[in-house]
């Protein structure tokens, strides 16, 4: 497949470090868009700030690079004004669940028809490796040099609890699964989330002695387990394992349908 | 006659991460001084894994059959 037709070639090569998984996730997004045959002019890709949030800068769609954690707020306004557009938000674990955490849970609760791809590398990559809400307990970050004392968020479970219509998690290594989940998310009406676990060798791997990007992908290859197989296993057995699969896939009225109802009621009353 | 897939590496974009070298199931690549070298192109099955995993859009694998069909 020709990826270059979707890229702003003058912006390449991208800034991501050698072995960073973000480029692998972007490729999966582009493969799905190509398969669905979407017109570039009908796609809007929106982000906040972070290495992951650099993605819209490289793609030849309608793009918005907004403020940290606020990609979803701009996307919400855009989707309400232009419901005909395919609105995709790309975000990092810090962008989506630290500074933008509230926007994330409320967008899920509202079930607005937006797809969010979260590149979860357990760290603030761009700013040099500060601890993030998904850094596993005990892991090192520049702000937790003796190990993280906090319990991490499970982004997929968070999205599920907040009411998203579709939630799935893949690793960057498992490209087949990643493609399938992103396609399901893009074709879902309602709020859809795909969490992709992706290596940040520079700000996370190095500090935690996990090696280069290639080593971190090898770990993903050898230590991932499907939701079904994970059922019935103890916390001890699942330690260090990545649980992947589809967490939620349900039909429910999206924000637009519910808002149309409100408009109908209001216009009857005001006649 | 079986035609081989054609592999190209854009050295301007490659960042020498060695992901293609590590994951090609057919061991088509070996690492060179700066860039991967395509040492066993005849073993390539066009599985596309290296192209999908290369984070830098540096690898293109072209399958001859598909080219013929589309022309
Ligand atoms: C309001 C605001 N606060 C802080 C920052 C600094 N900042 C830039 S990127 C970033 C973290 C990004 O982490 P994440 O979203 O996980 O993305 P990654 O870089 O790991 O892909 C921070 C804190 C900022 N740009 N704006
Ligand atoms: S700092 Fe980490 S997340 Fe950012 S480009 Fe480098 S490897 Fe990727
Ligand atoms: S995967 Fe891509 S960037 Fe990495 S060494 Fe191979 S060609 Fe270069
Ligand atoms: S297409 Fe598959 S077999 Fe061919 S070089 Fe790439 S990974 Fe190896």
pLDDT digits (tens, 9 = 90+) for B16-68: 999 999 999 999 999 999 999 999 999 999 999 999 999 999 999 998 865 55
**First and final C-alpha spacing in chain B:** 19
Report ipTM for this prediction.
0.95
Residues on chain B bordering chain A, Cβ-to-Cβ distance under 8 angstroms? 12-13, 15-19, 21-23, 49, 52-57
Domain extent for B41: 6-70
- Owning domain of residue A193: 3-269
CA nearest neighbour of A183 among A198, A194, A195, A171? A194
Would you say residue A16 has pLDDT above 80?
Answer: yes
Q: Mean pLDDT score of chain A, rounded to an integer?
A: 97
Lowest-confidence segment of A22-36, A43-57, B1-15, B33-47 by average pLDDT: B1-15
Answer whether residue B16 is part of any domain.
yes
Nearest ligand by distance to the CA of A47: 1
Contact flag A18-B49 (C-beta cutoff 8 Å): no
A80: helix, coil or strand? helix
Residue A94 CB less than 6 A away from ligand 1: yes
Percent of chain A with pLDDT over 90: 99
Ligand nearest to the CA of A23: 2
Q: What is the A65 CA–ligand 4 centroid distance (Å)?
A: 35
Instruction: Quickly state the pLDDT bin for B4 (edges 50, 70, 90).
Output: confident
CATH of the domain at A25: 3.40.50.970
In a domain, B25, yes or no: yes
> Which tens digits make up the pLDDT trace of A38-64?
999 999 999 999 999 999 999 999 999
The pair phi, psi for residue B36, each rounded to 5°, is -65, 145
pLDDT band of residue B71 (cuts 50, 70, 90) is very low
* CATH number of the domain enclosing B66: 3.30.70.20
Report residue B70's pLDDT band, with 50, 70 and 90 as the boundaries.
very low
pLDDT for res A271 = 76
Q: Tell me which chain B residue has its CA closest to the CA of residue A30.
A: B52
Q: Is A67 helix (H, G, I), strand (E, B) or coil?
A: coil
pLDDT at B66: 56
**Percent of chain A's residues with pLDDT above 70:** 100
Per-residue confidence band for A269, with pLDDT thresholds at 50, 70 and 90: confident
The C-alpha angle A45, A48, A50, rounded to 5 degrees, equals: 115
How many domains does one find in chain A? Answer: 1
pLDDT surpasses 90 at A73: yes
Q: Which two tokens stand for residue A170?
A: 């893949």
In this complex, which of B22, B56, B57 lies closest to A214 when CB atoms are compared? B22
Please report whether residue B1 resides in a domain.
no
pLDDT digits (tens, 9 = 90+) for A220-254: 999 999 999 999 999 999 999 999 999 999 999 99
Q: Count of domains in chain B?
A: 1
Cβ proximity of A195 and A172 under 8 Å: no
Instruction: Report the C-alpha gap between A82 and A73 in whole angstroms.
Output: 14
How far, in Å, CA of A252 to CA of A242, rounded?
Answer: 29
In this structure, is residue B47 part of a structural domain? yes
Distance from CA of A19 to the nearest CA of B (A): 5
**pLDDT, tens digit, 9 for 90 and up, residues A79-115:** 999 999 999 999 999 999 999 999 999 999 999 999 9
Nearest to A181 by CA among A200, A168, A191, A199: A168
Report chain A residues whose CB lies below 8 A from the CB of B54. 23-24, 27
Q: Taking CB atoms and an 8 Å limit, are B55 and A213 in contact across chains?
A: yes
Residue whose CA lies nearest to ligand 4 atom number 2: B47
pLDDT tens, position by position, A179-222: 999 999 999 999 999 999 999 999 999 999 999 999 999 999 99
Q: Which residue of B has its CA nearest to A199?
A: B55
């Amino acid at each position: 497949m020709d990826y270059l037709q979707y890229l702003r070639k003058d912006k390449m090569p991208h800034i991501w470090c050698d072995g960073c998984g973000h480029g692998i996730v972007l490729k999966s997004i582009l493969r799905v868009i190509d398969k669905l045959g979407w017109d570039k002019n009908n796609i809007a890709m929106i982000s906040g700030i972070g290495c992951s949030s650099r993605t819209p800068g490289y793609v030849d769609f309608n793009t918005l690079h907004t403020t940290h954690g606020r990609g979803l707020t701009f996307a919400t306004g855009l989707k309400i004004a232009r419901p005909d557009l395919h609105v995709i938000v790309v975000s990092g674990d810090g962008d989506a669940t630290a500074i933008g955490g509230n926007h994330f849970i409320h967008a899920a609760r509202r079930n607005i028809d937006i797809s969010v791809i979260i590149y979860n590398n357990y760290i603030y990559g761009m700013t040099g490796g500060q601890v993030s809400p998904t850094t596993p307990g005990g892991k090192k970050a520049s702000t937790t040099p003796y190990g993280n004392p906090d319990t991490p968020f499970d982004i997929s479970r968070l999205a599920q609890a907040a009411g998203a219509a579709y939630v799935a998690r893949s690793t960057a290594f498992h490209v087949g699964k990643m493609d399938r989940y992103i396609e399901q998310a893009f074709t879902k009406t309602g709020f859809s989330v795909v969490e992709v676990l992706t290596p940040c060798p520079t700000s996370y791997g190095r500090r935690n002695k996990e090696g280069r990007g290639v080593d971190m992908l090898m770990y993903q290859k050898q230590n991932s387990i499907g939701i079904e197989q994970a059922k019935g296993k103890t916390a001890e057995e699942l330690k260090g394992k990545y649980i992947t699969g589809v967490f939620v896939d349900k039909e429910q009225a999206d924000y637009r349908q519910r808002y149309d109802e409100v408009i109908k009621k209001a216009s009857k009353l005001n006649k | 006659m079986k035609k081989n897939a054609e592999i190209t590496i854009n050295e301007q974009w490659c960042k020498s991460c060695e992901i293609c070298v590590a994951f090609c199931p057919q061991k088509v690549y070996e690492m060179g001084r700066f860039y991967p070298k395509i040492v066993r192109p005849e073993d390539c099955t066009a599985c596309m894994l290296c192209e999908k995993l290369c984070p830098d859009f540096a690898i293109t694998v072209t399958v001859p059959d598909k080219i013929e069909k589309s022309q």
